[in-house]
Amino acid sequence: MAQHDPAPRLETYPVWDPAVRICHWGLVGLFVWLAISGHFGWRPSLHLWAGYALLAVLLFRLAWGICGSDSARFSRMLTSLASIGPTLKNLTARQPGHAAGHNPLGAAAVLLMLALLLAQSVTGLFFESWGEVRGPLAERVTRDTAVFLSDLHGLLLWPLLAVVAVHVLAGLYHRVWKHENRLGAIFLHGRLQLPADPALRRMGAGRALLAGLGALAAVLLLAWWGPAA
């Protein structure tokens, strides 16, 4: 009779640091408000300032993806994409994948979402006209360019919503089918059950604070310098 290998002993290890989790909450909250207010035309001035806030969070996330904790780094995500084939083959297995962070499919979704959010934020800076509100850089390009980027800003919402929906459904799929609570980990406690300590480097709060202040300063400078005199 064939013998099955025993299930690996699992322990709970910290994976996602507070900076990443706070960033996720910021992106979710701001994106929901921006998507709703933009679609229904609510509060243009508040939409603009929420867009500034989203851009600041994105700039922080980009910086943290370069110099932050291991589980947040883009280099780690890009490297994991080489294993996307085996991940697809094991997608229907009713057992956790035990990835110490985003699995290759999750990494691809995160990179695509961040790219679309950044494109959405940048095109919003050139928004031609919404009542009395204009993007801060609208007057620094030709009107044709501003109109084109304004149209693109509206169109980008739909692929972004599709990617977000797939990402949320994937998290629910992992919770229900694969018995792996990744949504709770990325938004709440940051811990995953793994067969071995992933030994991930976690950067301190000081570095996160510097990255956050740098992102905030960049956006404030844009808000002050952007509008043409």
Print burial letters for 45-71: b (CB count within 10 Å at least 16), e (below 16): eebbebbbbbbbbbbbbebbbeebbbb
What integer pLDDT is reported at residue 5 of this predicted model? 53
* 3-state SS assignment for residue 12: strand
> pLDDT, tens digit, for every residue of 84-135?
988 888 888 888 888 888 899 999 999 999 999 999 999 999 998 766 788 8
Mean pLDDT of the chain: 90
Domains (range + CATH), the chain: 17-192 (1.20.950.20)
Rounded-to-5 percentages of helix, strand, coil across the chain: 65, 5, 30
Residue with tokens 């900076």: 19
Is pLDDT at 227 greater than 90 in this prediction?
no
pLDDT at 165 over 90: yes
Mean pLDDT of 142-163: 93
Confidence of residue 1 (pLDDT cuts 50, 70, 90): very low
The one-letter code for the residue type at 190 is G
46 to 31, 88, 116, 184: CA distances (angstroms)? 13, 42, 21, 30
Q: At what angle do helices 143-176 and 18-40 cross, to 10 degrees?
A: 120
Alpha carbon 173 to chain centroid, angstroms: 19
Tokens of 6: 């025993």
User: What are the tens digits of pLDDT across the range 189-216?
Assistant: 999 989 888 889 999 899 999 999 999 9
Reading phi first (left if > 0) and then psi (alpha if -120 to 50, else beta), residue 71 is in alpha
17-31, 63-77, 86-100, 103-117: least confidently modelled range? 86-100
